[in-house]
Structure 1
Amino acid sequence: MSTARGDDAAPRTIITTDPELDDLNSMLRLLLYSNEIDIVGLVYSSSQFHYAGDAAEGRPPFRWPAPGAVFHIDQAVDAYARVHHNLVVHDDRYPTPEHLRSLIAWGNVADVGDMAADTPGSDLIRRILLDDEPGRVFLQVWGGHNTVARALRSIQDEFGATPEWPRLRDRISAKAVVTSFGHQDHTFADYIRPNWPALESREVATRVWGYFARTVVADEDQHLLTAEWTRRNVTAVGPLGAEYRVWGDGKQMADGFDAEDYFGLSGLSADELAAQGYEVWMPPQEQGAFISEGDSSNFALLVDNGLRSWVEPGWGGWGGRQERAADDPSSWSNVDEWDSARWIGEFQNDFAARLRWSVEGEYAAANHHPVVRVVDGLERTAAAGDVVRLTAETWDPDGDEVRVEWWQYVEAGTSSSTLELDVVGETVSFVVPPTASPGERIHVICTARDSGTPTLTRHQRVVVTVPEE
């Protein structure tokens, strides 16, 4: 991965994750983006939903895999190893399986909120936070915050009483960004926020990729969650697809009976499941259908699709768009389910294409992303009333036709004005609203879609700033 880092360079990231079935699904998808996302750690952790227990303390495990089970990070990397030789045909930046295995570490898993002692996983996070490599580090929390909290606590324990502590805390607070699917233990509220008040937190939970996706996805996109689409594009496509959890696949998460896990069963109604002792907290679906992939919103904002949604939480993209919390200036959370759901078609097609790469050993046998570049640059300054003209250049590595669309991402900007876009071919022009105030920013997106199968998309985000007087 490149070591040249700036706001537009994909940042490094560490994933902490518990053994929930949707964490496996998100991990499988994540590895297909390891050519574009700079992964520097894959860490097992616990949550309120899954923890290992501690026999010495007399604490039993809770919804934890059976002894000797292959845990989900290793399961996903093992599948990746079987297809790596194909993936590098399509992009030689895919890391080796050996490199990915070197990033796996066990974090704090003994209990919900466990941060009692340093672990290999918390030490890995600590080491990255203290290194001198420039740029931000995204700490993804797919389970509880506890292993991240332990790493921060370890740093505070070592340096908190030293003269350099205020400077070091400020440096780490500027370097680290925590993203999470909710708060699945108490350690953020109890330790991280009181002791690291300036550390940025993005809560990226969205129903769009979770268990209740069907309640928010638009009607025209519902087919992307069906058994037919999932079989054809995911579970029937090679070793990575075969590991992907779907309804009625006969698998389970934990050792023994788990009243919350009935996803491996098929052909039973909610009443029939309840009669067997299950707590039916979401309606059963057709065999082979999408279950959940909730944690994918954590890494989706880091995908190098041209939206650059990692730069600022309000910019929006595949991982949703976040707004600042009213009571905490350093915390942000996803807003507007439509702003997340609008991207599901792109993200699913992208997933399907990459799975196809994993089984095709010839470049020409699969579709690849179009390339789009705004020749005028991505950061522009223009005064109120000025005319802005932007031109895109496109090409496609497969020789496909590329269709360009220009549009204003109103919600991402700080101007409430709607532009009138004059589009001629691959060029757009517009007038900055005469009422625009100094400092306002307008986001204009150039979207390029190819004619391949599945259709693949790339973007360029142009941010136009009205200068201060």
Structure 2
Amino acid sequence: MHSIVASGQWEYGIEGIGEGKSSPGLSLIIKSFLKDDPRPIYVVVNAGSNTLAQALIDFETRYSAQQLDAVVRKLRVFENGAQDNAGAWICSKYPDIHWIRSNYQTYCYGGPMPRTAEKLQVKGLKKGPLTWHPYAYSDLGQHQWTLEHVIAGHGSLGAYYPLRMMGNRLFFLEGGGTIPWLGLVNQGLYSVDHLSWGGWSGRFTAEKVPNIWSRYERIQKDEESYGPFNLYTEVADHWVDPVTDSVYHNVFAPVYRWRQAFFNDFKCRMDWCVADYNKANHNPVAAVNGDSEEKIHFFQVEPGKSIQLDAGASSDPDGDQITFHWWIYQKAGTYPDPIEIQDYSSSTVSLQIPKDGLGKDLHLILEISDHHVIASMYDYRRIVFQIR
């Protein structure tokens, strides 16, 4: 563990960067920069990004401009909450960096706080869908769910899961640092290179947007002095909770729509820590036209064409019955009008590509879930129809 975990900068924000301000953490980051590996480097910034800033500064002094450019283009940075003043500084100094700023969706694992919802003029249920049954719709209810399904009786790992206390107050279930990682769980659904497509990590703009400030006023004041910067920022979804028919049309909905699935996933995975394989639940495996590889599918199709897809080869390792649900993720695509899906709850599906869709994209989601006494687990495949 000590070979892959290290402390970062000792000071706050950009005050903690500069000549001679190296740290063990930045050495690990630079080590990842130098790996002979063509894959992107995924970085989650939790409380602050100055260690990444110092790593880029040090790399720039030691290596060529071409090497620096290659590293910057490999980075995929998810800034969780914009909690220090170094993120905007990095984006201003290194404008080609792939930087995702989540001021709000990142807190939607169990939150956000009611005052955040009120600030954004979000009406209705302030904590989003209730996915911690049978406990109360409250911070306490969330932690009671966690005590049963994560902390108690789930081994040493579960016992370390924190109750989120600040002073004498209990806050919503911890997960602000979790949302950035969750998208990577579903490689058949989410792509960090196509942020407007959405997934368990939320949904963001297709292009960078200028000067999206931190939600914290004291940080924004610093950011305003750096000059222009551009980054990807979160966007809203329209979603109807299939359990309660509650309508969500806000910036939280791109995470809320997956919440039941990832709560169930957490619950079942914690059983893996202590239960025999045959006494635990495991994710089903989705297949499209016989292909079960975990990937996003792309099809070039002509306007007006009738399409049939078959998920009948989907399977469940525990032998559980599978439920199929096909749906169009309209906000993820570029065709503006609703599309009718025939047999959306069957293993096979049919749809008509719109005649006026030339040059547009449609996103069809195959969502499967198993029927298990512990909880249902999910798998997904995104099918992108490129109408050409």
For the aligned pair, the TM-score class normalised by the smaller chain equals 0.7 to 0.9
Deviation at 1:242, TM superposition (A): 1.6
**Over residues 180-199 of structure 1, what are the superposed CA-to-partner deviations in whole Å (9 max), with x where a residue is unaligned?**
11222222223x12321011
CA distance in 2, matches of 1:228, 1:155: 46
Task: Return the match for 1:409 from 329, 341, 347.
Answer: 329
CA distance in 1, matches of 2:111, 2:314: 37
Counterpart of 2:223 in structure 1 is none
5 Å matches for 1:85-164?
Answer: 100-113=1-14, 114-116=16-18, 117-159=21-63, 164=64
CA distance in 1, matches of 2:290, 2:274: 38
TM-score (norm 2): 0.78
Aligned amino acid, residue 115 of structure 1: I
Counterpart of 1:365 in structure 2 is 279
Counterpart of 1:12 in structure 2 is none
CA distance in 2, matches of 1:235, 1:213: 23
Task: Return the match for 2:299 from 369, 376, 380.
Answer: 380
Aligned residues of 2:91 and 2:99 also touching (Cα < 8 A): no
Aligned residues of 2:76 and 2:192 also touching (Cα < 8 A): no
Deviation at 1:217, TM superposition (A): 3.4
Task: Return the match for 1:398 from 307, 311, 318.
Answer: 318
CA spacing shift, 1:352–1:325, aligned 2, 3 Å:
same
CA distance in 1, matches of 2:288, 2:193: 18
CA spacing shift, 1:213–1:244, aligned 2, 3 Å:
farther
**Over residues 33-74 of structure 1, what are the superposed CA-to-partner deviations in whole Å (9 max), with x where a residue is unaligned?**
xxxxxxxxxxxxxxxxxxxxxxxxxxxxxxxxxxxxxxxxxx
Deviation at 1:315, TM superposition (A): 1.4
Counterpart of 1:188 in structure 2 is 87
Counterpart of 1:37 in structure 2 is none
Task: Return the match for 1:174 from 73, 80, 84.
Answer: 73
Q: Percent identity?
A: 28
Aligned amino acid, residue 326 of structure 1: V
The SS at the match of 2:283 is coil
Question: Does 2:248 correspond to 1:347?
Answer: no
CA spacing shift, 1:359–1:345, aligned 2, 3 Å:
same
CA distance in 2, matches of 1:292, 1:334: 20
CA distance in 1, matches of 2:82, 2:302: 42
Aligned residues of 2:303 and 2:355 also touching (Cα < 8 A): yes
The SS at the match of 1:447 is strand
Counterpart of 1:333 in structure 2 is 233
Question: Does 2:375 correspond to 1:454?
Answer: yes
Aligned amino acid, residue 177 of structure 1: R
**Over residues 441-467 of structure 1, what are the superposed CA-to-partner deviations in whole Å (9 max), with x where a residue is unaligned?**
111010110011221000011111122
Aligned residues of 1:403 and 1:449 also touching (Cα < 8 A): yes
Aligned residues of 2:303 and 2:387 also touching (Cα < 8 A): yes
**Over residues 361-399 of structure 1, what are the superposed CA-to-partner deviations in whole Å (9 max), with x where a residue is unaligned?**
x21010001011112771100122122221112111111
CA spacing shift, 1:234–1:290, aligned 2, 3 Å:
farther
Counterpart of 1:218 in structure 2 is 128
CA distance in 1, matches of 2:254, 2:381: 18
Aligned amino acid, residue 308 of structure 2: R
Deviation at 1:325, TM superposition (A): 4.3
CA distance in 1, matches of 2:348, 2:193: 25
CA spacing shift, 1:194–1:311, aligned 2, 3 Å:
closer
Deviation at 1:247, TM superposition (A): 5.1
Aligned residues of 1:245 and 1:291 also touching (Cα < 8 A): no
TM-score (norm 1): 0.65
The SS at the match of 2:52 is helix
Counterpart of 2:175 in structure 1 is 293
Aligned residues of 2:100 and 2:232 also touching (Cα < 8 A): yes
CA distance in 1, matches of 2:132, 2:37: 43
CA distance in 1, matches of 2:160, 2:314: 36
Counterpart of 1:79 in structure 2 is none
The SS at the match of 1:310 is coil
Counterpart of 2:195 in structure 1 is 313
CA distance in 2, matches of 1:349, 1:147: 34
Deviation at 1:118, TM superposition (A): 1.8
Tell which deviates more after alignment, 147-156 or 424-433: 424-433
The SS at the match of 1:295 is coil
**Over residues 291-310 of structure 1, what are the superposed CA-to-partner deviations in whole Å (9 max), with x where a residue is unaligned?**
43211111112113521232
RMSD of Structure 2 on Structure 1 (CA): 2.3
Aligned amino acid, residue 407 of structure 1: W
CA distance in 1, matches of 2:129, 2:182: 22
CA spacing shift, 1:320–1:412, aligned 2, 3 Å:
same
Aligned residues of 2:13 and 2:49 also touching (Cα < 8 A): no
Segments of structure 2 that go 5 or more residues without pairing to the other structure are: 118-125, 212-228, 236-250, 292-296
**Over residues 144-185 of structure 1, what are the superposed CA-to-partner deviations in whole Å (9 max), with x where a residue is unaligned?**
1100111111111223xxxx41x3233222210111112222
Counterpart of 1:6 in structure 2 is none
Aligned amino acid, residue 163 of structure 2: V
CA distance in 1, matches of 2:301, 2:340: 16
Aligned length: 325
Deviation at 1:354, TM superposition (A): 0.9
Tell which deviates more after alignment, 411-420 or 325-334: 325-334
Whose RCO is larger (CA < 8 A, sep 6+)? 1
The SS at the match of 1:390 is strand
